[in-house]
Amino acid sequence: MLNLPVLNDQDFETIVDEAVSQLSLYGGAWRPTGGHEAGLTFIELFAFLKERLQIRADIIGSKSLYKFLPMLGLARQYAQCAESVVCFNGNGYVPAGTKLLGGDLIFETCEGLAVADTEIKLLSAEDAPGYRAYASLGSGGTPKRIFENGKPFYIAFSNPLVPRAKINLYAEVYDGYEIKRNPLTDRNEFIRLAELKYEYYGNADGKAGWREITVHRDETVDFLYSGLISFSIDGEHVRTDGVYPIRITPVQYGYDVPPRITGLYINAVSVKQRDTKCETFYFGYKAFDANKMYFDSFLATGKLFDLYINGGNGWQPADYRGIKFLVKQEGPLFRLATSERKKLRKIFAGAAGENENVFMLAVYSGDFYDKRVLGSSGGMARQIYRLPDAYKNIVCDSFELICGEPDTGQRVWEKRESLDSSGEESEHYVLNPGSASLIFGDNLYGKVPPMGRGNAITVISLKTTRAEKGNIKSGAIDSFLTPELFADIRFKQINAAAGGRAAETDREAVIRFKKTFESGAERAVTLKDYENIIKNAQGLMISNVTVMPSERENTVTAVIDSFGSGFTNAVPDTYIENITKILHKAKLLTTQIEVRRPKYVGLDIYGEITVLNGFKNAKDLIQDCIENYISAFQAQKYVKTINNIELCGILERLPCCLAVKYIDWGAKPPRPSDTRNASGDLTFMPYEKIYLNENHITITVN
């Protein structure tokens, strides 16, 4: 029996007591004094509702669980492919989906790449290209700072880059800091910390100089993370100082710490542990009319295809319409060509718009082609198809099927988590990877696949994975599945394959459901909620955060420290902007937000201390004691006071100390008189951070 965690772990009284205990922070001056107050009644009402929700959540079965997850913005977690990066060298083209081997595991390239006949010779982080700063980097090398103080970063190649060819670089960015950078969850919402300009040294109008590079992709997000950078140059790459350079210059600098790289590779491509059994390519009317229907696919080398034509009501097999087709390789790509082009123009003129897809080409592997048809509909409700062994370990996002009569047109049906919200005409089905089965509707919730002489349920896209077994060490991916096709190309695996994960079990889904149910991570209500959201702000490295109610009504103030900030380095503006943006989405409607940096105050300490004879390290002991006192002082969250009497007592307990005559402080910048209390002690606001600037204590030996 499945041992599920208990979701109903708080009773009514506990919820009420917890809410009342927090009133001092969130409830203003009001406190409940009796059992019949309106405020307390509301607390008890919401406590009752919370307890009911917990009870209901605790009895959710696994079947219903996956219907509740989308209500919380959670998706069911299916098997995930392990991923790594390889870099190629040599001469030739590596198609998309090229199969590599790591033991008995198949990895596939995620894109096609023309291998550039060049290598990285030298790197430089100097003001001008000298290319002597440090040599080419390999994996795990000594981290090299780039863009420090806004300086450009140069990469020098041995041979010129080819104009308009895609160039892939993989940057291995150092991430061994004490505080890890939070991962990006939504890049479109992230305000970049820096803006970089890429240039190559080239010719234009007969003049050599720096020309702008077109960047197509930057997974590093301006060198915050390890990842691929894809770019191309538009003109001739020119030799200077014996090399062919490009440079990357910070146009806007807002880094928390200057990036450091430990490796840089050319001709790099992401690979995933998966085995593509079939994939589908679509071609529009414009490509057909120009007779330029090209596609990139390693699977196409097997020469097993099904071609479908858009007849208006659906897809019809090409042979059903009497159309012959040919797929042939032209250079690195494959090209689809057809017969009866006049006939096809008439079909498309009456059936498909100019911007619609007119051809669908399914490409199959040799071991799967005869298994692509699952069967034919019997016209019954709630039909279930058990998938054969060839369909095990499905990558769910890759799965597609086509169903229907050739006469009326076959259609690509849509995969759904459940059929509960499907209508009677909805061409939907449910894929259950755990039981390796397909479930269709009953003409009330989802359409029943139609009966018919030529009706077939055919798979047109499918990938499989070994999931967590694909998490293998660096260097384990070491050969091509078909080495005869890549005689002039070699490769090496740059990093360990990671991220492979088996499909989520029911127990794991319940635990994830509980965490979301309890934490309310998407909504900021309590001060703790604000702190958690800020600490996990995407793309940032938060070293410290203090959240407190502001003096202004309905306002929350957050004071943040970034990693690398301090009294000499301010928190970047982009940190303030990113956190403000995140909190505005998470806060309650009427709450106002103030995000600010700490204000650093340098303190000079004055005083006279008598120490015992024989303590040569007395000065160091006193210095350490004062610094420890300041460190403990910083941990206080709200209005803080440096208590001179308390510090004197701590100093007098040192074994070297005989007597403390007096202690006093001076602040830089000078503080107004109202920052001292009646005892003359300095007080500080929560957003102020202090550090010891100078020690002027006079030490006399008894």
The reply to whether 637 and 680 lie within a common domain is yes
State whether 593 and 630 are in the same domain.
no
Same domain, 361 and 413: no
* 450 confidence band (pLDDT: 50, 70, 90): confident
281 shares its domain with 256? no
Same domain? 557 vs 449: no
Assess whether 592 and 622 both reside in one domain.
no
Mind listing the pLDDT tens digit for each residue in 179-224?
Answer: 999 999 999 999 999 999 999 999 877 788 999 999 999 999 999 9
Q: Fill in the DSSP letter of residue 114.
A: E
- Segment 77-99 shows an average pLDDT of 94
Percent of the chain exceeding pLDDT 90 equals: 51
Q: Is 100 among the domain residues?
A: no
| CA max distance for the chain | 111
Structure tokens at 131: 């290319």
CB 108 within 8 A of CB 94: no
697 and 605 fall within a common domain = yes
Q: What is the DSSP letter of 180?
A: P
Eight-class DSSP state of 350 = H
CA R_g for the chain: 33
- Please tell me whether residues 603 and 593 are part of one structural domain: no
C-alpha 346: how far from its chain's center?
47
The whole domain housing 289 covers 275-369
- Single out the residue in 597, 626, 648 at which a domain terminates: 597
Of 381, 373, 384, whose CA–CA distance to 439 is shortest? 384
Distance, CA of 95 to CA of 203 (rounded, Å): 31
For residue 513, being part of any structural domain is answered with: no
122 and 249 assigned to the same domain: yes
Inform me whether the pLDDT recorded for 328 exceeds 50.
Answer: yes
Average pLDDT over the chain reads 86
Please report where in the chains the tokens 């060509």 appear, as a residue. Answer: 337
- Within a domain: residue 91? no
Residue 389 CB coordination number (10 Å): 7
Given pLDDT bands bounded at 50, 70 and 90, which one contains residue 392?
confident
Residue 103 lies in a domain: no
Spatial contact of 563 and 177, defined as CB atoms under 8 Å apart: yes
Tell me the CA end-to-end span of the chain in Å, nearest whole number: 77
Residue 33 in domain: yes
Distance CA 469, CA 79 (A): 11
Together in a domain, 210 and 258: yes
- Residue 62 C-beta-side C-alpha neighbours within 13 Å: 12
Residue 603's nearest CA partner among 662, 663, 666, 645 is 666
What CATH number has the domain bearing residue 543?
3.30.300
Tokens 């790197």: give the residue: 123
Are 258 and 399 found together in one domain?
Answer: no
Examine the domain organization and report whether 348 and 420 are in the same domain. Answer: no
Residue ending a domain, among 266, 288, 304, is: 266
Does any domain span residue 83? no
| Alpha-carbon span 102 to 500, nearest angstrom | 14
CA distance 474 to 498: 10
Number of domains the chain contains: 6
The tokens of 80 are what? 């995930």
Inform me whether the pLDDT recorded for 129 exceeds 70: no
Give CA angle at 170 (183, 578), nearest 5°.
30
Residue 293's CB is within 10 A of a number of other CB atoms, namely: 22
Structure confidence at residue 78 as a pLDDT band (50, 70, 90) = confident
Summarised one tens digit per residue, pLDDT across range 55-69 is 776 666 666 666 666
> What's CA 574's distance to the chain center, in Å?
19
CATH number where 155 lies: 2.60.120
- Distances in Å between the Cα of 40 and the Cα atoms of 15, 150, 434 are 12, 58, 48
- Whether pLDDT at 25 is above 70: no
For the chain, the residue count is 702
